[in-house]
Amino acid sequence: MKPSLPLGFQGNGVAAGIKRSLRLDLALFYSQAPAKVAALFTSNAIKAAPLKVCKEYLARNKYFRALVANSGNANCFTGKVGLADAKQIGLWVARGLGLKKEEVLVASTGIIGRRMPLAKVKSALPQLVAGLSAKGIASAKKAIMTTDTRGKEAYFKFKLGNKTVTIYGVAKGSGMIGPKVATMLCFIFTDANISRRALKSALKAAADKSFNCITVDGCMSTNDTVMLFANGLAKNDLIEGGRNLDLFRQALSRVCLVLAQMIIRDAEGASKFITVKVSGARNIREAKRVALGIADSNLFKTAMFASSPNVLGRIVAAAGASGVGLDEDKLKIAFSPLAKKEVEVKVALGRGRAEAIVYTSDLTYKYVKINAEYN
């Protein structure tokens, strides 16, 4: 079944000229009804201007109607000018849609340290607004891509009583992918009627098992953003807790995990999708620490690329360097055939019952080429 947007949501994407390639680079997502929003941002000490604007608006506004996002320019490390530019773009969109400026959130991804080409963005906005439609989501998801080779979308429909609820998400991400929200933009939309508190808790729980469990190169960006919009147009009974919240969490987690895995499958230059499962830890935090230690090891990732028998040694060394006190006699390691496109690594620590799963990719010549030429 073809993915479909939840009730009341529209999108569009245009080429504003932010990218030298003149590809789609400006996206707009719109809700016909006021929407509650939960958001997660990078834990990087340096945060891009759009993130600062979003945090400001989220702290003082209860409902939102639109999100404007661009690729090709991160609008980061641009000082007060960059902050003013982010607000100006949001204001122009608000005027075009007949909204208050605080009802429009902003996001950016791309090159750090360059000022946004405001004139180009302003010229493209009338076309962007006029082209809003449910079908426009196809161009919107492409407009947020940078080194991605394909757009990423996922959705899930489920019943709450006699009402059908839809959750739909789009994401971009291919390189600079590390945990703590990863390096990505992800925008999720639902027509569920849900309390603000439940929305926030559901997003955090879903991210912890998806976007915070992927890594391509362990590099944290300045623009990582995950936003979840809920406009309530499904008209289900308000979700606050209990079984309905459990169902919503399960559906949201499913959408987030699919998007997170799509990012790894599209990792820059990657030839393999690798699942690292660590079990027998004393707690989840310890299990994830070991899993990420392995997944982020360049020696492990290059050995995987070469299907090298020495991958065992790389796993042992990375696990031991994770900082978790391991007993060599209890450590057990197994992995599926290395020549395949999908490889599973299992590491049993023999310390307890907790486990964690991390998804990663191999490190290839192409990854180096892509990032050496990125400008």
**Active-site option among 183, 190, 215, 275:** 183
Q: What φ, ψ does residue 308 adopt, rounded to 5°?
A: -80, 135
Burial of 317 (0-12, 13-18, 19+ CB in 10 A): middle
Q: Tell me if 295 sits within 8 A of 372, measured CB to CB.
A: no
Q: Which helix (H) or strand (E) element contains residue 284?
A: helix 284-295
Sign of CA dihedral 4, 14, 33, 89: positive
Specify whether 183 is catalytic: yes
Crossing angle for the helix pair 311-320 and 298-305, nearest 10 degrees? 160
CB proximity list for 236: less than 8 A, separation 6 or greater: 160, 161, 163, 165, 192, 193, 244
Beta strands in the chain (DSSP E): 9-14, 26-41, 64-73, 104-111, 152-160, 163-172, 185-190, 214-215, 225-230, 273-281, 332-335, 342-348, 354-361
Residues taking part in catalysis: 183
